[in-house]
Structure 1
Amino acid sequence: MSTLSRPVLSPVPGDVLYCDVDGTLVSDDNRLSSITSAEIHRFVEAGFGFSLATGRSYKSVERFLQELPITAPLVLCNGAYIYDPVSHSHVSTPIESQFVNAIVPVLLGIPGVWVYMDTSDRHMWVSHRESLTEPFVTDENLHPRVFSNIYDLSNRSQVLKIGVKITCDSESTKRQLQRVIGIITAHFARELHVCFSSDNYVELMAAGVSKWFGIQVSQSMKVRRDNRIFTIGDHFNDIEMISEADVGIAMANAVEEIKQAAMYSIGHVKNHAVAAFLKDCQQLSVSV
């Protein structure tokens, strides 16, 4: 469905867009293009609102904030941490430490997976070893890395999200992880929300936490709420915000479930689809 053929489904000044990051705003190279950044600036200057709704922690989006005009509190850690970069106020919904201590050692026991935990200011890979040298762990371009003992961490800090990265493509590893996730879901359904944020990432948050939950908190923190809420995403951790927003939009590279939940789709992340969409919105708002 074309955005230009359905004006009611395109944002107008006073509406806000919450945009996913990975697979939506940035591609595999983890870089925000100058084309997209420029269109977001023009979008906000024209009276639209813009913010991020991502599974990432604050530290891993901090560098983007120097390039983006944010008008609503950020939705981070899949909705577990909402942060206003202007007032520096925040709202956290952590996982209770007893569940962190019970679940993480089980996950660490699965061969071929790596576990990380997000707090409000850190993104940490957790390991039984004293040091980690895997490229995805030491790549400072993606996330700052801090290594910590799980029990010290969970007792001292609020863990907002537990993540699992599948590094082994073997079917046995995937089956074992699915079994563990099934057990976690069965035993902690009232305490935890489990979702896939990509084919190789599983993320756990406190029950009830999702990006849509975070968007509602973000709007409640504003002195004046935005008119309508638009969302763009591509993977399973976007499903609630795509289906519950006034208008949910899927990327062309989105999983099929997101496309089914969305009102319409736009282009592929590798073709600067968000930039093209924002440009169309501005042209449409002038012509109607």
Structure 2
Amino acid sequence: MNAMLFSLAYGIAFLCAGVMGFAIQRGGTCTVAAMNEIIDTRGCSRLLAMVEASVWVCGGLQIAQVLDLLPIMPGGFRADSLTVAGGALLGLGALINGACVFGAIARLGSGQWAYLATPLGFYAGCLGFAAWWPSPPHRALETGSPVLHASSGVAALFVVFVAWRVIRPLLPGRSAGAVAGLANRIWQPHTATTVIGITFLLMMLLAGAWSYTDVLADLARGMASGVVPRGVLGLALLGGAMLGGMTSGGLRATSVSLGQMARCFLGGAMMGWGSLLIPGGNDGLLLVGMPLLWPYAWLAFAAMCLAIGSGLLMRRLLSEPATRGDGG
């Protein structure tokens, strides 16, 4: 009976991973794209949408706590200079790669096969880093997450938030043809990241805290416990992204250059280095550390965003003189 329940739970988690990958591809979820939006249009809808995914996981964990359904949660770490350095490396690696670890999945779902080098680079980076520095001095927090000690009233507030998010798009006057056009808007950033947050929450409750970058990091460090089932979830994530590309007509194989693959490999390796310094990749930060309100996760994600934004601005400043020269 226990084996049957485990198989059922794992089957649901596998399905959730596929839906999560589908949403990542359809929503074009990516921290680099979010920072590009801020710089190009002064808008922050993509970044806010990504943070909202953390809110959905956070609120869901509080409800699970009230219902006594919460599994064992990972602990947090003290925020220090390694946290900032790791976040900056994540950002610089994503900038070189052209996408964060979420965005790499979305690109693969669109047939941009050069991004296969990103997870390979991430694994290689973790492998080399672990050999050079086997045990970075991460200091674990002795106190539990404030999310897990919150009152039931906070869970009730989250229920109100859920009701508002569901009902708001359907209210009269929101936009012409709101209900009729819902299918066309369903993969806007906020909706996509909401789906990501909900499916990840279900996976966390059914299979424990999980991210595909953690699987790669654990493999590189020789930590084989639970790697196979978590690796299968990673394949489901990729399969869902590819299904998203196929059903939207966006799955078109593109030519792959050696230079592009080298950039993806190097960017992946740098993100791997950063993830071991923090510790955690930006998928784990966004969907595990930040929902649990660990300060180190928020600090690392902020450092990542600042590194990406600074790099994009510098790239623009360096290209503007050349553009003006061409025009003159």
TM-score by length of 2: 0.26
Higher normalized contact order (CA 8 Å, seq sep 6+, divided by chain length): 2
Return the index of the structure with the highest Cα Rg.
Answer: 2
TM-score by length of 1: 0.28
Q: Which has the higher strand share?
A: 1
Q: Which has the higher helix share?
A: 2
